[in-house]
Structure 1
Amino acid sequence: MICPECGREIPEGHLYCDVCGMEVRIVPDFEPEVENSITESLSGVVETLTDEQEEEPEGEHEKQKNLFVLSLGCIFVLGLIILVAYFSVTVYFRSAEYQMKTAMVYIEEGDYETALVSLQGALDAGGSFEEIKLEMVACYDALGEEQDYIGSLYELVSHEQVSREKLVQAYDKIIAFYAEKEQYEQVNTLLQNCPEASIQEKYSEYMANMPEFSYVEGAYNEVVPLKILSNTNGHIYFTMDGSNPDRYSEEYISPIFLETGEYEITAVFINEYGIKSPYAKATYQIDVSMPFAPEVDAYSGDFFTPQMIHVEAEEGCQIYYTTDGSEPDGLSTIYNGFLPMPLGDSSFKFAAIDENGVSSEVTVRNYHLEPITDYTKEDAQSVILRYMLNTGRIVDLYGTVSAEDPRRMIYVFACCVNIENEGDFYIFSEYIENPDGSREKTGSYYAVGMYNLPLYGTHYDVRTSNFALGTELLWQGS
């Protein structure tokens, strides 16, 4: 082949001229017969296809159309399934169940801060409030975050739909938290607002409820034995003039007997943890008839011989008395008809109390008894010991019973009395004293004359409300 560019010969099989580099363009020789034959063949194929298409039935075309629509439907459904699956997975990962499971895994691993994030996610997703909050409380406790810890517990106890079991758990934790820090005022405030009576009862020792009065305030025509009640152990303080009591006011110990008059009682309770309750107030108007004051036959003064004090009161009244200066009431000593005047100085206060508990005005007597005699009660006691020693009942003047029995006979001065037609006597009561110092009364009494010390056995005579001498003189005296 000759290169059309430079005229040099190009070897057979080369695509470029070795001299000028011109690309060889191979153009086949034109053959009219072949071209006509190809043209006829192509024309026949086109006609055949055209005829087949014209002859194709309409049903086949409809099938292809339906197949296309079905394909599109399948593609749509598949896309929808994929979309639903995507959203389902997304929703699950954001669900309370998944967030809770994830949080528990973090808790087991000790990653409490990350667990709290998942727990908050579970809470936002509508999970169980009480279950999630308790887990959050445990996380805050592990992290030492006290403010969030106690805040979450308060959210639990203030939530309306928390079960009783979880409510009790929350209260237990709050109370334990405050009790450990000795913040008892917060415990009391918490319990006062607690709607669950069983929880209040369980922790009643921490509560300081307002005291309660046993009588409703108002007017009464009888003596009111007023009691002031508290909900647990502690101290109740009260006033009767309307002022507010404190721990330095009078403490309530026993019923307050309200007699004729008007009283404005105010009470406060302070529990064992020092928590003070609100004040309780009540007003009472008492209007009852008062019995007459007791009549005492011996007036105040100095006496030189033994005296028996006789006291009388109107019918239906009991006489009570004191010797220590206190005001007599229903708990004082009862006058039983026998009341010898004590030696030396003494002071008596008498009151008559009727069947309704109404007390009379108080009768006061002050006495000084100093018998004119050369012998004291100690001299009289020595007479009894010498008699017992001489009769072998004791082995020494100390009163020892025997060498084998270390107990002692003790003779205790009881009183001095005048025995009708016999004279004035010192009266002694006999006791046995054990080695441990305890004493037992034998029931025996001895009377020693005040002026010459004769010794008699004696006993109390109920008929005369006085002592009576035995028939035998035991010791002659001086």
Structure 2
Amino acid sequence: MRILIVIGVVVILGALGYFIYLNTYYGLVRGGNRYLNQKDYRQAEEKFQQAMKQDDAKADAYNGLAEVYIAQNEPDTAEDYYLKAISKYPGNVELYRGCIEFYQQTDQLSKIPVLLDECEDDGVLDDLNMYVSNEPKFSLEEKTYDEVQELSLTSKGQKIYYTTDGTEPTTASAVYETPIQIGEGTTTISAISVNDEGVPSIVVSKTYVVEYPVADAPAVSPSTGYYERQMQITIQVPSGYTAYYTISSADGEIETPTAASTKYTGPIDMPEGNHIFCAVLVDGKGRLSEIKKMNYELILQ
């Protein structure tokens, strides 16, 4: 009889212990995983949330809950749980690890560098160093140049992807292999480097302007002065430019030359009297040089 009593007590205590275990953090997580495997997502969600109420610093319940939301095509909800937990426990490396693995599972790799960039805990960053991808380095400063440039990109043994139109680069973008030529105009280079884990870096973008210098004021001959015989005025026009000119009376208002003025096509007969001759060069982009002014007085004898 005593033996039966002892066995009964053991069974009762075992059942009581198991019941207590089922309501502990790990018991609830285990229950949540069981329901998850059975695709009973409502019950699984309830178990994981109960576990989080007991201990919201452990990653297991968040990881299980993420699987529930992924299965129901609600990844944003899972991400929200992770980010709120990380905000509350910024030194919890397992929460970071769970969130990173969630991003990998849901093909949101570009969010990993943002997550780690905002982390201020050196211990977390050291533990998750394998996920850190160094930003690519640019050889040129971001400024205006007066000639074509070559841009080199480097990173610590990582593959670099880039775009030249300002769009955000991905692993489907051009792979950097040789220096990038920066031609005339405005060019925005955006680049990422990708580490061995397939995690991209933060996007680095730099804008370069190559603007060829405008020629100085054109050379005009003859020199300013007084002449007694017929002369011709010539303008030296550099390659890639067009010259325009105006002739104004020295006693009146001087007309400033523009691209709408008289186009220079060859030597011009100097007019009689006292006149101001002005010339300007215009390049292919419509940019004007400085203006050259000459004062001619022609009195034919």
User: TM class, shorter-chain normalised?
Assistant: 0.3 to 0.5
TM-score normalised by the chain length of structure 1 = 0.27
TM-score normalised by the chain length of structure 2 = 0.38
RCO greater where, 1 or 2, for CA within 8 Å and sep 6 or more?
2
Larger radius of gyration: 1
